[in-house]
Amino acid sequence: MNIPKQPLNQRIFKYSLTSLIVVSAIWSASGLEITLDRILNAPAQIATLVGAMFPLDLSSEAFDRIIPKVFESLFIAWAGTVIGAIFSFPISFLAANNITIGSVNRVIKQILNGIRAFPELILAFVFLPITGLGPLTGTLAVGIHSIGTLGKLSSEVIEGIDEGPLESIKASGGSKINELTFGVIPQVMPTITSYWLYRFEINLRASAVLGVVGAGGVGQELINQLRFRDFPRAGTVLICTIVLVLTADTISAAIRNRIIKGKTVKS
């Protein structure tokens, strides 16, 4: 039987890609001095650590310390998302090439790209000397990073709208403002709201981490307990974080589903 072969240049591309991956993996592994016995020992070491976490520290003293921190992370994430949403919403109109005037959108897009390039953690420790140790720093870091990401996502949504409603508003004598409020916003609002919620889910993980540099939240608690080798309490911190993130994810995903897909009609 004659099975057709892949064209030669495609095969060359495939093999060179595979060898690139293999070579870079070997280069990395040798550069990081990752030897076989370290890899083989790792599962046992991790099992030891996880074993040391159980039984969890369920004393009321532990919960009194951990629960406020967990909620602090939640507040940071939510407030940061609100900051991001409020500021990114008007900016995204200016950044969309079908709404804005002239070439303002290129400038704004570059600014948004610049903001997005800095991880929250780096923003956090730059703000730290000004805003102090505490949740305010974390909120600002999360909020500013969110302006960058939400601005980009929202402006892309606005660029993808149907122009028809805008034309009909123009035809019936509507002003530019009317076009925005009756033509653009009703079209983009569901998607943008769901992006806000999606960003909240991401921000929750980010704000949990921010405590590492002292910007508030549960990360501080985890790193302290791990440093003092109080593994049962570190385990409690982990479990509390997982519960919070899972709950928030589930609620937020349900709302996003409802916004995007609409009410499910029972037949």
Partner 1 sequence: MINYPKKPSPSLLVLIGIPAGILFSVFSFLQIGFNFQDFKNNLSNRYLVTDPLFNPKWAWAWENSSDALVETIQIAILASIIGCAVALPLSFYASRATNLNKYSYFVYKSFLNLVRTIPDLFWAMIFTVAVGIGPFAGVLALLMFSLAIMGKLLSETIDSIDPGPMEAAKATGASHNQSVFTSALPQVLPNFTAYFLYIFELCIRASVILGLVGAGGVGRIIETQRIFLRFDRISPIIVLILVVVILIEQFSVWLRRKIL
Half-sphere exposure of 27 (CA within 13 A, CB side): 6
* Least separation in angstroms between CB 72 and partner 1: 7
Residue 47 or 104 with smaller CB distance to partner 1:
47
Closest CB 101 distance from partner 1, rounded Å:
29
* 3-class DSSP state of 67: helix
Closest CB 102 distance from partner 1, rounded Å: 26
Nearer to partner 1, 94 or 201 (CB): 201
> Smallest distance from the beta carbon of 180 to partner 1, in angstroms?
20
- State which residue, 99 or 209, has the beta carbon closest to partner 1: 209
**131 near 137, Cβ under 8 Å?**
yes
CB-nearer residue toward partner 1: 46 or 104: 46
Report d(CA 100, CA 249) in Å as an integer: 34
Cβ proximity to partner 1: between 63 and 78 the closer is 78
Q: State how far the Cα of 60 lies from the Cα of 79, in Å rounded to an integer.
A: 28
CA dist 9 → 14, 16, 19, 20 (Å):
9, 10, 15, 16
Q: Which residues bind partner 1 (CB under 8 A)?
A: 13, 17, 21, 24-25, 27-29, 31-34, 38, 41-42, 45-46, 48-49, 71-72, 74-76, 78-79, 82, 117-119, 121-122, 125-126, 129-132, 134-136, 139, 205-206, 208-209, 212-213, 216, 219, 222-223, 226, 238, 241-242, 245-246, 249, 255, 258, 263
Select 89 or 100, whichever has its Cβ closest to partner 1. Answer: 89
Q: What sign does the CA torsion over 167, 169, 170, 172 have?
A: positive
- 31, 182, 238 from 98: Cα distances, Å: 49, 16, 46
Which residues are within 8 A (CB) of 13 and not within 5 positions of it... i.e. 6 or more apart? none
Cβ at position 205, least distance to partner 1 in Å: 4
**Least CB distance to partner 1 at residue 95 (A):** 19
The three-state DSSP-derived secondary structure of 114-128 is HHHHCCHHHHHHHHH
- Min separation Cβ 134 and partner 1, Å: 7
Place of tokens 């004598």: 173
- Closer Cβ to partner 1, 39 or 104, answer by number: 39
